[in-house]
Structure 1
Amino acid sequence: MADISILLDTLRVLDTTINVETIITEFHALSEADKDDRRLSTAKKIFPLIFGDNASVQGDIDFSERTKTTWSTSCELSPGIFISPETPQDVGRILALCQFLGLKFSVRGGGHLHNPGFSSNDGGVVISMKNLNAVTVSEDKLTVDIGVGLVWIDVYKALEEHDIAVIGGRQPAIGVAGFLLGGGLSFQNSERGLSCHGVVEFEIVLADSTVAKVNATNNKELFWALKGGGSNFGIVTKVTMSAISNKVWCEGRVYAPKENKKICEAIMEYHKASEKDSKATLIWHTVEEATTLILVYADPVEEQPAIFNVFDEIEPLVSMVPPKIYSILEIVSIFDELTVTEPKSHDIRIMTSMPDLELYNAVEECRLQQIDALKDVPGARVTLTIQPMSPSAFTAGVNQGGDPLGLTAQSQQWLVVLMDWSNPEDDAVVLEASRKIVDLAESVARKNGTYLDFKYSNYCSRDQDPLASYGAENVRKLRSIADAVDPRGVFQKLQNDGWLLSKTV
């Protein structure tokens, strides 16, 4: 009964203790076979008793609406319980119950995921972080506390009145915690590194339900691991990030697809120039109808920065975002208007290489071939993104204490294929088209000696293995840290899915 006493103490319920204790005692007395049959039904009794309206169970009127995913319809599964904790202590109680009952759990922040099972499950518990949504600016405006239930546009809205920002996400509906635990790409990559390097402290609930503050001096190794190591160590409930200026120069240009070859040639020149200018960031984004080039400079300069002049000889159809100084909120709000789509299935796939013009041209040809191959698939859309990464991005990361990603300070590009489609029966053919594009890119890069064995986890498809790409030594260190903070392997065994160390080869 000692375990039950510890559990009840962790739950810290007063007016419902007797009912909860009775239910827990009855479950504890069952045989293992009977427990298997009663895990979910027992949980459906306990969670509402402890968490009230913050817990919803399968069959409740509002259950379907609560569990609905926010982005990819392929991620809509059938959990048994949906719960929205209000405090880190609530998260600890949920973890304790899941362990006692042997129930699978999934953690959902913004819900902007494309891999089924990462933020939901069948027959288990979904822990929605939506109630952890406070933004608090320090008195000196040097740091910001951010609740992980927020998406980035809400963070920027809260910071706008203070005339500050953080190196957060570029897409409005991306959630805070998952984004940072995977690394994070911001508008200030080249100058400040990945977004995780803007975190000065994580608040995290560990497997034993304790709440830990993790920073460069307290739990130093765990701080390193959380900057790209994913959900292997606990549930992050709050992050403290360094505040930065919220003003940048930006322009968004739209080109006819026929200009893609010229744009790729110009990107090669940009790669070279970005090695000497740590303020510039560029995103190349192409679909069947047009190509968009987003140019961002992490300073509020009045004139177009010279690094972008290489694109001036290519005539755009329109300047979608007129060149001038913007706040981060203004830019993300523009993206918010442009990215609203009807519900669809999505998948993202990635590869990394050094700058390689032959690769860019080969991938563009293959993309057009796959668009044709999917012409009869309802809702099918193929989007290709090239994200140049300058050496300064990785130097900045090292200067901020490093991370487990294993990246070296060299020019590279992260090539991303985003697939959209309407019907689940087309999953296989769409995913195969995505694989063909990325496989070709990797083949060309290997032939040319430009291939880099790194996969950015936030853009990985379900069959890729990003943690393995961090390198054997870093994976061993991550496993050692996970074993230290979670010796029973709760986040490897009961967490439904994700980029887990237990899945890494």
Structure 2
Amino acid sequence: MDVSSPIATTTGSPSLDKLDNPEVETLLSKYATLSASEKDTFRASLASQNFVLLFGKNAILETSDEYESQRRVPWSTNCWLQPLVVVTPTSAQEIATALTLCRFFNLRLSVRGGGHLQNPGFNSNHGGVVISMSKFDQVKLSEDKSTADIGLGLRWLDVYKALDLHGLAVAGGRIPTVGVPGLLLGGGISFQNSQYGIGAMGVIVNSNADENTDLFWAVKGGGPNFGIITKMNLVTVPTTSWSEARIYPPTAYESLVHGLMQYHEAIETDNRASLVWHATSQAILLVFFYCAPVEKPPAAFASFYDIPFLMNFVPPGTRSIYELVQGCRKTRQEQQAALSDVEGLVLTNVFQPMSSLAMEQSQGTPLGLEPVGQQWFLAMADWKHAKDEARVRDAIREIVDVAEASAKEEGVYLPHRYSNYASRDQDPLASYGAENVERLRGVAGKYDPEGVFQRLQNGGWLLSKVGSS
């Protein structure tokens, strides 16, 4: 990951008096002379005009044809908010300009990669600015193909598709619609956890490594507290692997849990196996992934093989990561279409087994991960009617509380909260440990001395909010 080429922070952003646009200068001067109450009245109008003057068609207002589709980019309908403007910069310099406008007009801002975070206000806002990275859509291999420059506006299916042409992949996300930056900056889970660690692991490859090591450490799970990253160089890996996806009936739950415990033992000595467990009240989906093109089903998953299942989501065999992710996506869409007339609640539980090997590979981050085998757990819900939100959230909260209480009773509870799974009423950064949080605050203060990303950023796991949940 290249975190120093270039990061648009408050430090080093161009001043507005150097933008060399007479119309912009006139509007800014007009705004500067207004009283506080007058600024509140004219802020939206003057800010909108300036964004249009400086970004043209890449500044999308409510009156723009593109506005509604841009507003609905986030995966969760809870996040379909009503920003004043969605700006789609094409360079780091333009991102710096957008940030400077937000500072000048004191506008709330949100940064959006793929828009998959489910918490309202994290990737959009009401009445502020959304800085969309959608125009950063490059996938460029280095000359020796050992690294790839990955655009921060891409989703993982796009990345795998582009690299698949070269027989390569990267240690990225497993869900096709997840965006690149959100996954990695939250300490993302990949198929290759046990081999390479969490998705944000890597080495600094830029020429300024010596002066940016603190920032490189901080972004490995530190989220949106330090600036806007405009470029990531990821190490490439072979893409051909063995995989299979099965759908089991809910009645197989107890047998699958028994198999899961045996699988935990297997991955303590086999760093190439990865498992996705995705269970609803209707079915349980297991995705088996092995980081090698083996001919026979790997022994690491043997504890599941004899459990009767309903169907193969993806048949067993060797394929590229792109083919696996695309296959799961296609079948999921087909099944969703078949059930489009069904209304109501869907509860989902996700188990994510993590080996001690994965945790050992993930040291050197602010996440505070203990180097032992562990189980990450996600409970989530989809529902149709807004009036049911409070009841549904209370039910999910109860599931999580019981799971945590059980872990504590058994003496196996670990405090870490994975930020990409965390709900708005949780506090994942606090789970990193007090020492890491203070170190993160120090890095944020160095690269954002005015606290713009703490003060103006509309949502996200911000250091200014640690301890407030």
TM-score of the superposition, structure 1-length normalised? 0.86
Q: Relative to structure 1, is the Cα distance of residues 172 and 198 closer, same or farther in structure 2, using a 3 angstrom cutoff?
A: farther
Q: Are 2:14 and 2:97, in contact at CA under 8 Å, matched by a contact in 1? A: no
| 2:400 paired residue among 419, 433, 438 | 438
Pairing 1:463–2:387 present: no
SS in 1 for 2:210: coil
The secondary structure found in structure 1 opposite 2:328 is helix
Question: Does the aligned pair in 2 maintain the 1:200–1:242 contact within 8 Å?
Answer: no
Would you say the 8 A contact 2:74–2:123 is kept in 1? no
Query: Aligned letter for 1:92?
Result: A
Q: Distance in 2 between matches of 1:126 and 1:289?
A: 37
Once the two structures are superposed, the pairs formed by residues 38-437 of structure 1 within 5 Å of their partners are: 38-198=42-202, 200=204, 216-340=209-333, 378-398=343-363, 402-437=364-399
Amino acid at match of 1:293: L
Amino acid at match of 1:308: F
Separation of aligned partners in 2, 1:46 and 1:342: 46
Amino acid at match of 1:381: V
Unmatched runs of 5 consecutive residues or more in structure 1: 202-212, 344-376
What secondary structure is seen at the aligned counterpart in 2 of 1:442?
Answer: helix
**Partner residue, 1:483:** 445
Partner AA of 1:391 in structure 2: S
Cα deviation for residue 335 of structure 1 reads 2.0
Instruction: Check the 8 A contact 1:200/1:241 in 2, yes or no.
Output: no
Aligned to 2:459, what secondary structure does the other structure show?
Answer: coil
Task: Report the equivalent of 1:6.
Answer: 15
Alpha-carbon distance between aligned partners in 2 of 1:384 and 1:200, rounded to the nearest angstrom: 36
| Structure 2: 5+ residue stretches without partners | 1-12, 337-341
Contact 1:137 1:143 in 2 (8 A): yes
> Matched residues in 2 for 1:337 and 1:164: separation?
21
How far apart are 1:200 and its partner, in Å? 4.3
Structure 2: how far apart are the matches of 1:331 and 1:198? Answer: 24
Larger mean Cα displacement after TM superposition, 28-37 or 413-422: 28-37
Counterparts of 1:132 and 1:214, CA distance in 2:
22
Q: What is the distance in 1 between the residues matched to 2:211 and 2:294?
A: 39
2:456 is equivalent to residue 447 of structure 1: no
Alpha carbon RMSD of aligned pairs, Å?
A: 1.9
CA contact (8 A) 1:79 1:124 kept: yes
Distance apart, 1:379 and its partner CA: 2.7
Code of the aligned partner of 1:390: S
Deviations 1:272-291 (A, max 9, x none): 12111111111222112211
Moved over 6 A (4+): none
Aligned-partner SS, 1:126 = strand
Q: Is the 8 A contact 2:362 2:369 kept in 1?
A: no
Displacement of 1:316: 1.8
Among the aligned pairs, what percent are the same residue? 47
- With over 3 angstroms needed to count, the CA separation of the structure-2 counterparts of 1:341 and 1:504, relative to structure 1, is farther
Q: Per-residue CA shift, 1:316-351, capped at 9, x if unaligned?
A: 2223221111101001101211343999xxxxxxxx
The number of residues matched between the two structures is: 450
Give the aligned residue type for 2:77: T
